[in-house]
Chain A
Amino acid sequence: MIEIFSLPFIQRAAIAGILIGFVTSYYGVFIVQRKLSFLGSGLAHSAFGGAALGLLLETEPLWVALPFTVIISILIVYLKEKSKLSGDTSVGILFSVAVALGIIFLSLKKGYTNDAFTYLFGSILSVQKIDLIFSSFLALLSVGTFFSQWKKWAYATFDVELAQADKISVLKDEYILSILISVTIVISIKVVGIVLLTAFLVIPAATARLISSTFFQMTIYSIIIGIVSSFVGLVASIQLDLPTGAVIILIQAIFFIISLFFSRK
């Protein structure tokens, strides 16, 4: 089994899996605890609209998907703040519009559009060096926020009003968190795919919640589960010759089922 790690594309896949497992499970704790699972799914689907525009413009799809998804995430927070609509409704409206745009962009593109399916299902084994550079940068940025922002994000996750009363700029922090989640989603798409991405954001954090008595514990456990399941899933998928993203999610699900037995109510 060790020999497979001598292959460069497997090395890249392993590193990408660990990095994406880390960032998605880290932001996942805020998504789960703020009950924003639909936001993760909505932003992932919004990225499809951006990737489709990239394909239409015949440029690197993720370069277009990145600003496209970031703008959608900002609009979601803005719409939620400025209207009486709930967060879920804002997500529902904007992600539907983004997907509709994506379908139109693809229909306008003449010729073969099979590339779009790469972004729907992802392909960890086709990760390139440039993808690793972006993933590493995002992981470093996320480590930085763990030391600088986590305390404020956690406080606002517990109670927005208490955090505001303690002079924390909750709205600004929500924009920052939302933008970082959208960047995480776009960078993860190539590895995980739009369809399976929600699981990466939700399952490790939900599993960690079951066995944690503090939010800090939940964050650490979620990161560990995210990284371990990505690595184990990658190895298992190679051994069993099965799609990697799907196997990683099944490993995450196994962790979740085991945690149910050790759940702290």
Chain B
Amino acid sequence: MKNIAVSVNSISLKFGSHTALCNVSFQIEEGSFITVVGPNGGGKSTLLKAILGLIQVDSGNISIFGKEPKSVKRTDIGYVPQIKTLDRSFPALPIELVSTGILGFWPQKINKELKEKSMLALEKVGASHLSERPLSKLSGGELQRIYLARSIARHPKLLILDEPATGIDFASENDLNRLIDKYKVENNATIIMVTHDWEAAFHHADFVLMLNCTQICYAPPKIAFEEKTLRRAFGHIGHEHEMIFGVKGND
């Protein structure tokens, strides 16, 4: 039996009177790929922040590799945030951003050893040619590769991605998903990815967590994407999804 990488036990969280998460429980085995899907405002990003230890839950508990989130070694977790939060006016080069993944702080100077490690990470995501291009001049897809390079530069056992496909084209998204799969296989890493792309969630994940503040289901993709589950999570099913799952849409 595989070890448990992440254990979430009956967590609930409120922001004022708004319930962000209600009684969410699941366990992730080491080396598994989990996608988290659900409607906007359904608590997906909040869940990731709770797992990262950025916010405290009101009740329940979370354990990462057997420890509380705040006690987990920094290098055990790689985090790819939503690029829409990026401040493009910040003067920075991709190689600096990647080196923060190794150092855990912003570098003043990049020495030879740090440069080699950062370049290696950039090569793994096919972005070594972008190392000296200002962040402000990168496309969404290029930026996501840089963020992925940053998070894998530290060789994390757990990789957490928050909507990595937002704002990038279809080809870039496919490339990104391929790179994530490759990292998972080569490092037996555990992946948690929030996504709005049901097709990616269906094809890449071992398990799908469907959230709408409460936990709708935590199951293999074929079960998670059944019509009744989708209707419980989203209230409706778009026509475009009929092609993916053969589930007839109603809007």
Contact = CB atoms under 8 A, between A and B. Distances in A.
A162 B81 contact: yes
B142 interface: no
Contact of B96 (A161, A167, A168, A214): A214
Interface string B56-97: 000000000000001000100101010001110111110011
Given A151-B106, A265-B136, A159 B91 contact: no
Interface in A113-150: 150
A155 interface: yes
Interface in A158-187: 158-159, 161-162, 164-168
B91 A218 contact: yes
Given A167-B74, A167-B104, A212 B91 contact: yes
Contacts of B167: none
A151 B105 contact: yes
Interface string B102-132: 0111111100000000000000000000000
Given A155-B100, A213-B134, A161 B108 contact: no
A187 to B, nearest CB: 26
B28 interface: no
A151 to B, nearest CB: 4
Given A165-B79, A209-B91, A155 B85 contact: no
Interface in B22-58: 49, 52-54
A264 B96 CA distance: 18
Nearest to B97: A158
Contacts of B86: 159
A213 B85 contact: no
A166 B52 CA distance: 9
A157 interface: yes
A77 B109 CA distance: 30
Nearest to B73: A167
A33 interface: yes
Interface string B133-148: 0101000000000000
A264 B79 CA distance: 30
Given A150-B108, A161-B49, A214-B93, 5 more contacts: A150-B106, A165-B77, A167-B74, A214-B91, A215-B92
24 contacts: A33-B90, A152-B105, A155-B100, A155-B106, A158-B92, A158-B97, A158-B100, A159-B86, A162-B81, A165-B54, A165-B79, A166-B105, A167-B70, A167-B104, A168-B104, A168-B105, A212-B91, A213-B134, A214-B92, A214-B93, A214-B96, A215-B96, A215-B106, A218-B91
